[in-house]
Amino acid sequence: PPGRKVLIVYAHQEPKSLNGSLKKVAVEELSKQGCIVTVSDLYAMQFEPRATRNDIVGCLHNSEEFNYGMETWEAYKRGGLSDDLIAEQKKVQEADLLVFQFPLYWFSMPAIMKGWMDRVLVQGFAHEFPNCYDSGLLKNKLALFSFTTGASKEMYAKGSISGDIRYLLWPMQHGIMHFCGVKVLAPHICFAPEYVSEEKRKEMLNAWAQRLKSLWKEEPINCSPEWYFK
């Protein structure tokens, strides 16, 4: 619907890749719907994935012993986080929907995107115990993980060598997004694009474009362990 804000956090080095095309399709399709779309192109931004002392501007809360979680929490409260973090938090704050677009690396997201999660979703901003899971501070937002795999769909079936693809989504969807109160839409997975025909890749892009047309009507997944492990 017009006016909805979408943040696409995108992690791929090559614009001509399938991930690059999936991101482009999302920008085009959502913009066509009247959504306001922002992209954080992590490689292009040379986004810093490491959680370090540089994330805190000015004096430390405890200069004797460095505790990243505590220091970023205190810095967030006084507006003392580094500019790159403040910029990303502002994008997250404004977004109705977060789309994460990436190739699966070692059953997980690429380091640069994990670093985005580590650094941007600080305590006080995204969660603050006991305000986590359903009462996480980012409630009323939606997230969608859209990614490509190296292995085929068969290899990610239950009972196969890699196990059910849903197992891998538990840390990302549940441990990060749901923990922060975000509701999660079903993932969008393009299996083994490197090993299929050009024709098949076009179909993948088409399927994504089609899904985006009715995305806002979708119900989030059931945020319970059963969805992942049943």
- pLDDT the model gives residue 205: 98
Average confidence (pLDDT) over 107-129 = 98
Residue 115 · residue 159 · CB < 8 Å = no
Average confidence (pLDDT) over 104-128 = 98
Show the CA angle centred on residue 159, arms to residues 153 and 162, nearest 5°: 55
Mean pLDDT for the chain?
97
The residue type at 162? S
pTM: 0.97
- pLDDT the model gives residue 1: 75
Number of CB atoms found within 10 A of residue 137's CB: 18
- pLDDT the model gives residue 217: 97
The residue type at 124? G
- pLDDT the model gives residue 224: 93
Give pLDDT tens digits for 136-150: 999 999 999 999 999
User: Which among 116, 122, 117 has a CA at the least distance from the CA of 67?
Assistant: 122
Domain at 5-229: CATH code: 3.40.50.360
Give pLDDT tens digits for 161-215: 999 999 999 999 999 999 999 999 999 999 999 999 999 999 999 999 999 999 9
User: Which among 93, 99, 83 has a CA at the least distance from the CA of 9?
Assistant: 99
Domain ranges of the chain: 5-229
pLDDT beyond 90 at 2: no
Determine the distance from the C-alpha atom of residue 38 to the mean position of all C-alpha atoms in its chain, rounded to a whole number: 13
Q: Residue 13 carries which DSSP code?
A: S
